[in-house]
Structure 1
Amino acid sequence: MKKLKSVSPEMVVADREKVRATVTEILQRIRTEGLSALQDYSNRFDKWQPLSFRMTTEEINACIARVPEQALADIRFAQEQITNFAQAQKASLQDLEIETRPGVILGHQNIPVSSAACYVPGGKYPLVASAHMGVVTARVAGVARIVAITPPFQGKPNDAVVAAMKLAGADEIYCMGGAHALAAMAFGVEGIEPVDMIVGPGNAYVAEAKRQLFGTVGIDLVAGPTETLVIADDSCDAELIAIDLLGQAEHGVDSPAIFITDSTLLGEQVIAEIERQLQTLSTAAIARPAWENHGEVIVCDSPEEMAQVSDAYASEHVQVMTRNPAFFRHRLKNYGALFEGKETNVCYGDKVIGTNHTLPTSRAARFTGGLWVGKFIKTVTFQRLTEDASWQIGEYCARLCALEGFAGHQRQADIRVERYKPKIKAA
């Protein structure tokens, strides 16, 4: 294995300690000062001072009315695809009840959380698609109260984002963003009831807020900068590979874009082609530093090594454009979402195809997948015994409790043995 392009040693790294300290202060102020702190941070960070952060029905309808019909039709199409796949996923979650031994009935039930806040980023870009990914998925899961939150974009609520939230099925829509908005959702402030769960992507401060709020509320995952990794051989052309790398690099100046191949020539061609495309890409101001500081080109000796290297990166997105993409699907284990073949790409998954774009980053794909209906659902167990099963299990349980020194536990079992075990009559 060799690297034709490595990460720059001068790359900008987020000051994690500064982010952590800032978020800690924000959360503490929201918890203790409530609405006044929320208003202060909204004005400070977003220059946004609404009479109410919750949008009225009239305000929502006015946003929808300003969105072109074609855009509304496209939003509905995307939401239909996401709904269809989410429904199929939910159908795969089956309740269970089984008799494991005579009289011992065990099972589980799948119960949606009661309330969830779905965060839709809106700093650099108004991420309309994030409304689908959070709100639609929560609705299909059966969440009773769905709250959608998004920061103001260019000084006001973004019409298309608000329309997408409403069409997706949000019960409440708030125009506010950042760590302070998540704190308000977790703790509750005047006029805002707290939620049980917060989901959705965001910047470093949003991600850190989710990390610190976990436990007070549930979260989907802690998502960092967007990542993409392309695996390709010389059956694919450099133009296609280059735009698929740059198309994700434009998310942010800290977005990694990794190319893995077994062809040195193709690796060199991709480097040259990326430079050519950057000359005309309108988002080059973001994509160029992302590529220059976080882009890599790795040449491997075999497809097996390509798969091993990809799994070591555990990228958010892995796109395979080789002669035999199924080879990698059967070998890869660490990725947020896999895109198999030249005909698909990460953008399809980001916006419309039906899978969810809220995915693990920072190598978290080693231990978790992305947002899906199952994230909004608690799988809880139940048990039921007959009297005969109770005393039989009780005898084992009492001895095991004694082994651990739990006298009260032991008595719980013993009393049932005494009550339910048939008495042997003396001759």
Structure 2
Amino acid sequence: MTDSNTSFQAPEFIKAPARSAVADNAPVEQIVAEVIARVRSEGDLAVRDYARKFDGSDLEAFEVSAAERAAALADLEPQTRADTEFAIANVRAFAEAQLGTLGELEVEIRPGVHLGHRNIPLERVGCYVPGGRFPLLSAPIMTIVPAKVAGVGEVIACLPPNAHPAMIAGCHLSGADRIFRIGGAQAIAAMALGTQTVPKVDKIVGPGNAFVNEAKRQVFGPVGIDQLAGPSEIFVLADDTGDAEMIATDLLAQAEHDVRTRVGLITTHRPLAEAVLAEVERQLATLSTAEVARPAWTDYGEIALVADEAAMIAYSDAVAAEHLQVHTADPKAFATKLSHYGSLFIGELSSVVYSDKCSGTNHTLPTMAAGRYTGGLWVGTYIKTVTHQWLDAEGVKQVAPPAARQAKSEGLEGHRRAAQLRLDRLQA
């Protein structure tokens, strides 16, 4: 197998995936295009119709009222609220630390030529909060909290009408300014286009199902999006020090997300590969979510045996997994050799599950090898870095002559005149 940077022998698969992770998206594309077109022309009427059709919901009002927020908060179990606030505190602290690294700039690169940039928070952001089979209480935290830390003017949250009430409480605690009970592609269309009820946003963030993902793809342009995230992924890199029980447990923890979750082990140690294969089967026999985890493991799970550390690194970088765990003898040193991943978990004590829930790094991450060119959601997602310049007379003398000459060689007379005018006036 070869990529643009590294050549290596294809691994030996102790367990190969039965299906490709790339699915036929044509039917989804057509349905989503119809949803967007109707929301554009009919607004709330279309949103209400799709809520009835897809969610079995017939809500009179989409927006969650202050009284409904208070009720959801009051119904939240005390321990659940404490755990939610623990996660919010960690995500906020890390986002604030990240924000502290984003300095503004002004520099005089030549005499009289001053260049700079500013970091400006977005005015209004839409956070899609998936409902899922279970109430994913960490989902609103990961999208809403960094937006508030970044200084976004207004944060809109959309979640499916049938989402667990605890999700409303989670959106409230995370700092959402407005919360709407709208799910699926119609939620993305409403936030992107604006309706009589839902305000138009500048950027849409957050994971969702295939319809949500496709809707984000189709509305991109007039509004920004964070990324096109597919089903969850986890890969573990392990040498002969790997613990089969721990690795199998972590693989299945992600596999229970979705029947299309991609999970894998890349190892240099055949006995470990075979032990993990057996251990996954042993644990599936008692896992309460096996109806989801087993199809994911059967269809997309893999155990790849490679010759040496270099091959392990090369194959891992080609996969560019969303979550990448390092279980080697010296995991910190090994981690510095890896380049492509969504988020890295160094050492066997650092489980993906901790980040999924509450440790502080964001769990909204690139999938389907997008880790080769982008990172995950972070406070910078909600900020635009914009440049500026100002020149004094000496600066004009520096840049006007080459600018005018370049414009003339390109045949752009208007450009040449604009470059020359200020210089001529200074010389006059």
Q: TM-score, normalised by structure 2?
A: 0.96
Q: Are 1:191 and 2:197 matched, yes or no?
A: yes
Partner of 1:179: 185
User: Of residues 8, 16, 28 in structure 2, which corresponds to 1:6?
Assistant: 16
User: Of residues 309, 320, 324 in structure 1, which corresponds to 2:330?
Assistant: 324
Partner of 1:47: 56
3-state SS of paired residue (2:131): coil
Q: Distance in 1 between matches of 2:331 and 2:75?
A: 43
Partner of 2:88: 79
> How far 1:70 moved relative to its partner?
1.0
Q: Verify the 8 A CA contact 2:90 2:359 in the aligned structure 1.
A: yes
Partner of 1:415: 421
User: Of residues 89, 107, 112 in structure 1, which corresponds to 2:116?
Assistant: 107
Q: Distance in 1 between matches of 2:332 and 2:198?
A: 48
Partner of 2:238: 232
Aligned AA for 1:335? Y
User: Of residues 6, 30, 39 in structure 2, which corresponds to 1:21?
Assistant: 30
3-state SS of paired residue (1:27): helix
User: Of residues 152, 156, 175 in structure 2, which corresponds to 1:143?
Assistant: 152
Q: Distance in 1 between matches of 2:39 and 2:134?
A: 26
Q: Are 1:31 and 2:40 matched, yes or no?
A: yes
Equivalent residues in 2 for 1:153-164, closer than 5 Å? 153=162, 157-164=163-170
Percent of pairs with identical residues: 48
Equivalent residues in 2 for 1:238-387, closer than 5 Å? 238-387=244-393
> How far 1:303 moved relative to its partner?
1.3
3-state SS of paired residue (1:148): strand
1:344-393 Cα distance to aligned partner (Å, 9 max, x none): 11111111110000000011111110000111111100101112322331
1:245-288 Cα distance to aligned partner (Å, 9 max, x none): 00001111011101111111111111111001001111000000
Q: Verify the 8 A CA contact 2:148 2:155 in the aligned structure 1.
A: yes
Q: Distance in 1 between matches of 2:221 and 2:21?
A: 31
Q: Are 1:221 and 2:231 matched, yes or no?
A: no
3-state SS of paired residue (2:241): coil
Aligned AA for 1:276? R
Q: Distance in 1 between matches of 2:368 and 2:109?
A: 41
Aligned AA for 2:214? E
Question: Structure 1: which 5+ residue stretches go unaligned?
Answer: none
Q: Distance in 1 between matches of 2:101 and 2:92?
A: 14
Q: Distance in 2 between matches of 1:63 and 1:281?
A: 31
Of residues 385-394 and 364-373 in structure 1, the stretch that sits farther from structure 2 once superposed is 385-394
Aligned AA for 1:319? Q
Aligned AA for 2:226? D
Q: Verify the 8 A CA contact 1:120 1:128 in the aligned structure 2.
A: no
Q: Quick one: structure 1 residues 392 and 13, their matched pair in 2 at CA, closer, same or farther if it must change by over 3 Å?
A: closer
Of residues 226-235 and 82-91 in structure 1, the stretch that sits farther from structure 2 once superposed is 226-235
Q: Verify the 8 A CA contact 1:185 1:194 in the aligned structure 2.
A: yes
Of residues 323-332 and 217-226 in structure 1, the stretch that sits farther from structure 2 once superposed is 323-332
Q: Are 1:58 and 2:64 matched, yes or no?
A: no
3-state SS of paired residue (1:260): strand
Q: Distance in 2 between matches of 1:390 and 1:286?
A: 66
Q: Are 1:398 and 2:398 matched, yes or no?
A: no
> How far 1:12 moved relative to its partner?
8.4
Q: Verify the 8 A CA contact 2:141 2:171 in the aligned structure 1.
A: yes
> How far 1:13 moved relative to its partner?
6.2
Partner of 2:4: none
3-state SS of paired residue (2:106): strand
Q: Distance in 2 between matches of 1:233 and 1:389?
A: 59
Aligned AA for 1:123? G
> How far 1:158 moved relative to its partner?
1.9
Q: Verify the 8 A CA contact 1:392 1:417 in the aligned structure 2.
A: no
> How far 1:328 moved relative to its partner?
2.6
Q: Verify the 8 A CA contact 2:13 2:302 in the aligned structure 1.
A: yes
Q: Distance in 2 between matches of 1:5 and 1:236?
A: 17
3-state SS of paired residue (1:173): strand
Of residues 289-298 and 20-29 in structure 1, the stretch that sits farther from structure 2 once superposed is 20-29
3-state SS of paired residue (1:83): helix
Partner of 1:169: 175
Counting matched residue pairs gives 418
Q: Distance in 2 between matches of 1:367 and 1:343?
A: 28
Q: TM-score, normalised by structure 1?
A: 0.96
Q: Distance in 1 between matches of 2:158 and 2:197?
A: 14
Q: Distance in 1 between matches of 2:165 and 2:83?
A: 14
3-state SS of paired residue (2:303): strand
Aligned AA for 2:188? L
Aligned AA for 1:49? D
Question: Structure 2: which 5+ residue stretches go unaligned?
Answer: 1-10
Q: Verify the 8 A CA contact 1:249 1:290 in the aligned structure 2.
A: yes
1:146-202 Cα distance to aligned partner (Å, 9 max, x none): 01111133xxx4222111111111100011110110100000011211000000011
Cα RMSD, aligned residues only: 1.2
Q: Distance in 2 between matches of 1:312 and 1:387?
A: 52
Q: Distance in 1 between matches of 2:111 and 2:22?
A: 60
Q: Verify the 8 A CA contact 2:21 2:262 in the aligned structure 1.
A: no
Partner of 1:121: 130
Aligned AA for 1:161? M
Q: Distance in 1 between matches of 2:314 and 2:398?
A: 51
Q: Distance in 2 between matches of 1:42 and 1:328?
A: 49
Q: Verify the 8 A CA contact 1:391 1:416 in the aligned structure 2.
A: no
Aligned AA for 1:282? S
